[in-house]
A and B are shown apart, each in its own frame.
Chain A
Amino acid sequence: MSGPSISRRDILRTLAISAVGGSVLQVIPAEAAEYVHQMVNKEKAAEPSGQYKPKYFSAHQYATLVSLCDAIIPKDATSGSALEAGAPEFIDLLTSENDQYQLRLGGGLLWLDSFCADRYNTSYLGCTTGQRKEVLDLIAFRQNAKKDGALSQGVAFFALVRNLTCDAFYTSKIGIADLQYIGNTAVRDFPGCPPIPKT
């Protein structure tokens, strides 16, 4: 094998053969998919990185974003957090390429700090855990903006961060496992629907 494209071709050939084969069917494609995944990880590991350097956000903005992502999808008994799923890196990447996101997220992060400065005389990151919760409980619900128009920009900002954080989490390995998605593999026959439990 002389490079990733050859490897990939081999994998796909294996897959093509296994799709008409017999008992190995369920196994080989999964191995093939896993191999592709490991290849990608290896390529990533080969990059001289270490600490992630944000492409767009300043250190302070990025730290605030990290805090928000972690609050939106925290670790629980079933799975890890949005941070483990790479949400801040994902959002930073998209934002570095999209001037609308730059405006809405960059401006939104400033709005958040100004809001906290007005209420608590400090930035969002400077707030206590309890103060942050107060802020999030205000901007995480659209109905609050209906009651208090001054919140509407914060609510819109938080909604975008929440959508992007969910995107990142539920496209990650741990997020997909959390949902117990089964598939993305080659099977000989589609089994149809298992019995639907009575409600």
Chain B
Amino acid sequence: MAQVNRSPKVYDVCVIGSGAGGGMAAKILTEGGLSVVMLEAGPPLNPEKDFKMLTWPYELEHRGAGVGGFARARFSEFLAPNGAWTIEGEPYTSAPGSNFQWFRSRIVGGRTNHWGRIALRFSPIDFKSGTRDGLGADWPITYEDLAPYYDHVESYIGVFGTRENISSAPDGVFLPPPKPRCTELLLKKACDKLNVICIPSRLAILTRPLNGRLACHYCGQCGRGCVTESNFSSSQVLIPPAMKTGKLNLVTGAMAREIILGKDGKAQGVSYIDTATRTEKRVNARAVVVAASACESARLLLNSKSPLFPDGLANSSGTVGRYLMDSVGSDGFGILPQLEKMPPHNHDGVGGMHMYIPWWKFDRKNDFPRGYHIEFHGGRNMPGVGMFDHLCHREEGYGVQLKQRARQVYGTYVGLSGRGEMIPNPDSYCEIDPDIVDQWGIPVLRFHFRWSEYELRQAQDMQATFRSIIETMGGEYLTKTAIDGKHPFGISEGGRIIHEVGTARMGPDPKTSVLNGYCQTHDVKNVFVMDGAPLVTNPDKNPTLTIMALAWRASEYLLSEAGKGNI
């Protein structure tokens, strides 16, 4: 680059990424008195313009199917903005024999704008997995270390739920849950018969006003983003208080390229591409918090090569990019004839399930390690594209009889989604692709991914459970899965559940881990990683709540170390 634009200002901390981890770091650090510059690769968010809350499908030219119908089978165009499986000009690759899918959001708030809001604590035993069954490693911290921060996060962002005293699903600080929907009442009844635990779900959605934010108005559209800020997103709940301190400088359109290492072995700042002008710029900071999402953070570390770290910054262990995990996912659905007679009623509720099944077989011997939870969907949702695909496939035909069947089956479908724990394996990791750079000139990631027998057996168990629940409800289970092929037992492609974590894991030993228990790199004391990358295991609880609890704890540690002059 002929000209490098250098800003003379030195910030206390540069935070890379504005999602759950980066947003939390910015809030805690600025409120603690530090000056923070935040680099976000995407544009600013304008909820009033960008969110499609309460929009009807017919108000959009493409009715939610997206240009060319390309959004039809995946996330519809109603989703809160700027997330995609592919981003033009920013490819990633999969090694031969692997197929990893990577969902990235380039926008302030990142994936928290559209996420499922499922906010589950990891359980005490999840931190001791290696000891428990000999697979993988233990965490360097315990549940007790993190519990106060779970309390802080839940109290601040607002999570509904109920106290249940289930060992696999620790209770938290909860707002009252919404009433169950019809489908969920029937699911609960079936679960009771089967001795499957079914309890109110735990979502980061306000059923009561909290910290100046309005309570939910039950339009069922959290994924579209919420104009009344009644659900959690980093862009609406974490960035604004950080801004209010006057100590946050949020730079959008800033694609981080490299963390610059000084001669003293400490990070000095970050060079980034200003995407609007396609020029390289640089910010200086006394500490760097990498929170770009697990794989993007690994990419940045691996691309930050120096004589001291020829294999990437803070990568003396060689484990950056390793231990890549997603959640095991397998879905199924059934049809419940008893719902055909339901009078029309408002079924929307919050933007997610009101009830769910936590891992319930923790006290018995299973033919796979660890466990999974089951999420619910279905019922009288707002009609949308693809809603009657199954009817069209199954019953076929045309004409008035097709319309009549559509009326009859509308609202009678119930979906079940199993989300389980993957054991890290040596065949699942990301690395820098030797041949390809993105449009910003930054080398891209190449993914390697493989499910092991453990995950396949778990998916098989999910399918059997789904069937038994639907059939106990008097319904017909309609999902058919093969035992082999591309998706045995309906198992998702790696990355598809968007819970990719573990690429810069914590650990007590600098030879086998990247970070210590405070998300601080073993190798470079003023570099921290605060997203999904630090996770040692990926239990069946969605990672976002834990990412925020870890980031809060790590940020307090950073503050205290900065106060002592150690950073």
Contacts and interface: CB of A to CB of B under 8 A. Distances in A.
A136 B343 contact: no
A20 B345 contact: no
A40 B342 CA distance: 33
B345 to A, nearest CB: 5
A99 to B, nearest CB: 8
5 contacts: A72-B402, A86-B58, A142-B396, A162-B396, A182-B380
A93 B215 CA distance: 39
A73 B391 CA distance: 14
B383 A176 contact: yes
Contact of B48 (A9, A76, A185): A9
B515 interface: no
Interface of B: 48-49, 53-59, 61-65, 67-70, 72, 178-182, 184-186, 209, 214-215, 217-221, 227-228, 230, 337-339, 341-350, 380-389, 391-393, 396-400, 402-403, 406-407, 410-411
A8 B68 CA distance: 27
B392 A136 contact: no
A9 B53 CA distance: 12
Contacts of A98: 68-70
Contacts of B386: 163, 167
A180 interface: yes
A7 B400 CA distance: 40
A199 B412 CA distance: 14
Given A37-B56, A171-B63, A196-B185, A94 B383 contact: no
Contacts of B68: 94, 97-98, 101
Interface of A: 5, 8-9, 12, 15-16, 19-20, 29, 32-33, 36-37, 40, 71-74, 76, 78-79, 86, 90, 93-94, 97-98, 101, 136, 140-142, 159, 162-164, 166-168, 170-173, 175-176, 178-194, 196-197, 199
Given A167-B385, A170-B383, A196-B339, A191 B346 contact: yes
B380 A181 contact: yes
A93 B61 CA distance: 9
B349 A16 contact: no
A78 to B, nearest CB: 7
A162 B398 contact: yes
Interface centre among B55, B67, B383, B400 (most CB of A within 10 A): B383
A171 B64 contact: yes
Nearest to B64: A171
B54 A94 contact: no
Given A19-B215, A199-B337, A172 B58 contact: yes
A192 B179 contact: yes
Nearest to A79: B403
A71 to B, nearest CB: 6
B215 A136 contact: no
Contacts of A162: 392, 396, 398, 402
A167 B342 CA distance: 23
B399 A74 contact: yes
Contact of B186 (A71, A72, A189, A196): A196
B72 A33 contact: no
A193 B218 contact: no
A112 to B, nearest CB: 14
Contacts of A74: 399-400, 403
B385 A171 contact: yes
A19 B213 CA distance: 11
B437 to A, nearest CB: 28
A64 B347 CA distance: 38
Nearest to B394: A142
Nearest to A183: B348
A40 B63 CA distance: 13
Contact of B382 (A29, A159, A173, A183): A183
